[in-house]
Chains A and B, each alone.
Chain A
């Protein structure tokens, strides 16, 4: 039986929760891929400085990576083989994650090498992914997070699907491989949860799946894959002039404004949890609760 070939696309982003409140200012800061000097935006005030912030896997992409591993395990008990690949666009910061994925059993790992700032360029991002899928011609199921930062627009899965002419479902919470050409998908829509069987190929944007964390490989697994190659391709290899595509992006981030969420933040004093709770109740909550 033919294998189901899954390709998971992921992004490495700054850990925004690591930034202090004072650091949330508009400036020349770098994007997810480093300096941010290579395009996007219209001026100096359209980025936040994140060059020195620790990098993490985007949360929904991380779910997609783990979900694919579990799909293979679940299918292994049956008759459907599953092959796994992973791709990310970015600089060297991506490499350690690709190595981790190799150790976890991803057979094909690829970095699209660019220092261009694609943080607010979903159309260009989608073009790169679609061209890679077309050129390699070995993907049946493309999975990625249904949205990713800092743009958070949720458009990339649909744009990739449009480029490829494939169906697309996002906010996916469960996927089961039924056969070499069909998957059963649960996804959140506006009026509930829709379960549907989809004929491959298709694009799935993973949402709030209760598969949030990517597992950690053992040292033995890492050592076994130590010399395994990471494929590197350039935009030009895919027939894309990234700089020219960026210049054509029809939706451009012009500037940023800080959101103020300040409330009084009155500290409630007391010697013990009981005393503090009583003070909060007496001073604030009692009258409110009586009216509820």
Chain B
């Protein structure tokens, strides 16, 4: 069966895509994932570097005009049609979701996004992914092929790639391939680049404020306490959406997935959408008034009290211990 991992080398996240796909192929696909990697690149790309990063030994290079994922999908649809590729695996995130979805639609295949793992059968693909706002994991059966899979962004946590002796199997130029959606509908593109996960992803000591902080003032007091104790500061979605803190501080499904050694959460209920963003923490201390909140069972230590008052006291203690 022909199967391909797809790395979009035309965007700045190619290395992260390749690492994520490599981790998924090793640990998330029972060894039956992609046999080859399709690397899309443009003139200005460092092709040698892209080949080195590829998650499989066999690499197929395709030069494209770049642009929006829609243009790339046309190339992949032709591969499915002409070469009978039955499985396409994309890295998680915006581009992967769009490419997998559009490809499935144009080829009459099936799509699944945010895959945690897959099992490849002769006529079925089984896939596990989060559902119900990450309260549950669902197992999906995909019948019609090609199976178009984008993997969960948590696979991007993979830090290392396997050492492979890469072989370039083919190199084609598809710069003349037209997108099916009229590209002239997009004008005046202006990209403000940023690290996809921001500084919070690198944090070793993190304080997160939730709606239980009570008000903008409460959140600001938690942020000040975090600064005093030398911790990074993040917030839950309800706090960011109430405009009590900048959106780039958002931790969880809608924001950053963190992996600090120590995480203190203040006024956070422990909803899975937020918890997903801190579940890799080495130690979680929760401060909340509600002993029935889910966070009480998913933290290592729990203080049942006013979160803002306790975090301010904790900041004083930590600051004085450093003097």
Contacts and interface: CB of A to CB of B under 8 A. Distances in A.
A265 B132 contact: no
For chain A, the bracket of interface size reads 35 or more
A125 interface: no
A192 B131 contact: no
Q: Which of A120, A153, A292 has the most CB of B within 10 A?
A: A153
Contact of B302 (A253, A266, A292): A266
B113 A154 contact: yes
B139 A149 contact: no
A26 B136 contact: yes
A35 to B, nearest CB: 18
A76 B287 CA distance: 46
Nearest to A278: B317
Given A166-B181, A198-B185, A281 B111 contact: no
Given A213-B241, A261-B275, A153 B112 contact: yes
B178 interface: no
Given A267-B302, A292-B261, A253 B131 contact: yes
A21 B269 CA distance: 12
Interface size range of chain B in the complex: 35 or more
Given A251-B142, A280-B303, A292-B204, A170 B285 contact: no
Contacts of A163: 105
Interface of A is mostly: mixed
Contacts of A266: 300-302
Interface in A158-188: 158-159, 161-163, 165-168, 170-171, 173, 182, 184, 188
A277 B181 CA distance: 58
A281 B320 CA distance: 12
Nearest to A14: B132
B294 interface: yes
Interface string B1-31: 0000000000111000000000000000000
Contacts of A162: 101-102, 105-106
B209 interface: no
A259 interface: yes
A44 interface: no
B144 interface: yes
Given A199-B185, A210-B240, A265-B297, A191 B13 contact: yes
B291 to A, nearest CB: 8
Interface stretch (A4-12, A103-111, A226-234, A268-276): A268-276
B132 A48 contact: yes
B131 A196 contact: no
Contacts of B114: 152-154
Nearest to A155: B101
Interface stretch (A83-91, A217-225, A283-291): A283-291
B20 to A, nearest CB: 11
Nearest to A162: B105
Contact of A265 (B105, B126, B299, B321): B299
B309 A289 contact: no
B136 A273 contact: no
A74 interface: no
A207 interface: yes
Given A191-B196, A288-B283, A155 B298 contact: no
Contacts of B189: 194-196
B16 to A, nearest CB: 8
B188 A212 contact: no
Contacts of B271: 17
A261 B301 CA distance: 14
B187 to A, nearest CB: 4
B220 to A, nearest CB: 17
16 contacts: A48-B135, A152-B114, A152-B133, A153-B111, A158-B98, A158-B105, A191-B196, A193-B191, A208-B240, A250-B144, A253-B140, A256-B137, A259-B136, A265-B300, A265-B301, A285-B314
Interface of B: 11-13, 70, 93-95, 97-98, 101-102, 104-106, 109-114, 126, 129-144, 180-182, 184-194, 196, 204-205, 230, 237, 240-243, 247, 250, 254-255, 261-262, 269, 271-272, 275, 279, 282-285, 291, 294, 296-306, 309-314, 317-318, 321
